[in-house]
Chain A
């Protein structure tokens, strides 16, 4: 089963995203701070990490940097999950080694799941 790690500090968002992804057949693990996110990534070896850029201990960019430095995680897909403006998030995700981004808030559950799938199975 495809495993997704959600690193997000907002509890309502974690709950919504988890519920949606589980309902669509994904295995979901969660972390709400960057240090736990790194630990979960190391132990769970997810296929994709959905990464909030604003976290309370270290921010999402710093965590992306740690993940990219981890030999066992270098090919793991990191997808930023953020409300940042498109132009900014494009530059930021590119420079921090993310595969792309998904905008917050989730407006359409169907579109959100399609976006996740598109990163896992690029055309």
Chain B
């Protein structure tokens, strides 16, 4: 029965469906996940816009009139991103996930793009195995961190602080920050609203910058760089200024690389780990991902 499901499915461009339909199928595929991350249509629409999801090349799996699963395709220059992949719980292990992922790779070929990225939740063994089978390889482990609002932040670290508006903040984001997961690439910030930043210099001459998005209830999408000095000290100084400025906002940051030297500052400021993801690539990373963007 399971293989007959895979044989009978059709892959339809996601652009043929309304955002409400896409939200419904996405939520249904995640209902039993350890970290379900459900969305409403407004959140999914924001996701599509922020992460350059191309609905024309994203896919919905159908059999007869029933939606079985979804795979979305992010598109930036010479790279694609597989995201929101999910299959209804009752038909998993029947080849629908593989058909969607293979369909995603065919869409990339049609776009003449030979490099793909994705993140898979750590310990989602079936998905991880599927991606390995289809030619993806592991490149690192990523952290999702939270910090609750209303916890009294420590006093601000004495520093020269310059607050940056959107234009100046995005000017910094354009510069080389090394290879980043899709969600933290410069384009994500260019697409986001309410972006601002801080440039900071400590008494010992350490300096750097941080850019963030301030949503109605949440601080998110932190992008930062230490230009000189100790990254952890500098990050701690940034965080004291940021959380004293916005003490009532929840904080949610995604896909911080486990080897990020700024991490100790986050833990010192009361951030806690939500879960981990494994970043995987397929193909040779293009210059737009790893090259110097200075």
Contacts and interface: CB of A to CB of B under 8 A. Distances in A.
B35 to A, nearest CB: 7
Contacts, number: 67
Interface string A56-97: 111101101110110000000000000111001001100111
B13 interface: no
Given A56-B39, A65-B250, A97-B148, A92 B274 contact: yes
B250 to A, nearest CB: 5
Contacts of B40: 33, 56-57
B282 interface: no
A9 B148 contact: no
The DSSP consensus for interface residues of chain B is: loop
A61 B275 CA distance: 14
Interface in A82-116: 83-85, 88, 91-92, 95-97
Contact of B217 (A55, A58, A83): A58
A10 interface: yes
Interface in B237-272: 248, 250, 252, 270, 272
A95 to B, nearest CB: 5
B171 to A, nearest CB: 30
A57 B150 CA distance: 21
Question: Interface residue tally of chain B, by bracket?
Answer: 20 to 34
A62 B43 CA distance: 15
A91 B272 contact: yes
A9 to B, nearest CB: 6
Interface of chain A: mostly helix, strand, loop or mixed: loop
Interface of B: 23, 27, 31-40, 42-43, 146-151, 217-218, 248, 250, 252, 270, 272-275
Closest 8 CB pairs of A and B: A54-B36, A56-B40, A56-B38, A65-B149, A91-B272, A62-B250, A96-B148, A65-B250
Given A54-B36, A88-B274, A95-B146, 20 more contacts: A9-B38, A56-B39, A56-B43, A57-B42, A59-B37, A61-B146, A61-B252, A62-B250, A62-B252, A65-B217, A83-B33, A83-B34, A84-B34, A88-B275, A91-B273, A92-B274, A95-B147, A95-B148, A95-B270, A95-B272
Interface of A: 9-10, 33, 54-59, 61-62, 64-66, 68-69, 83-85, 88, 91-92, 95-97
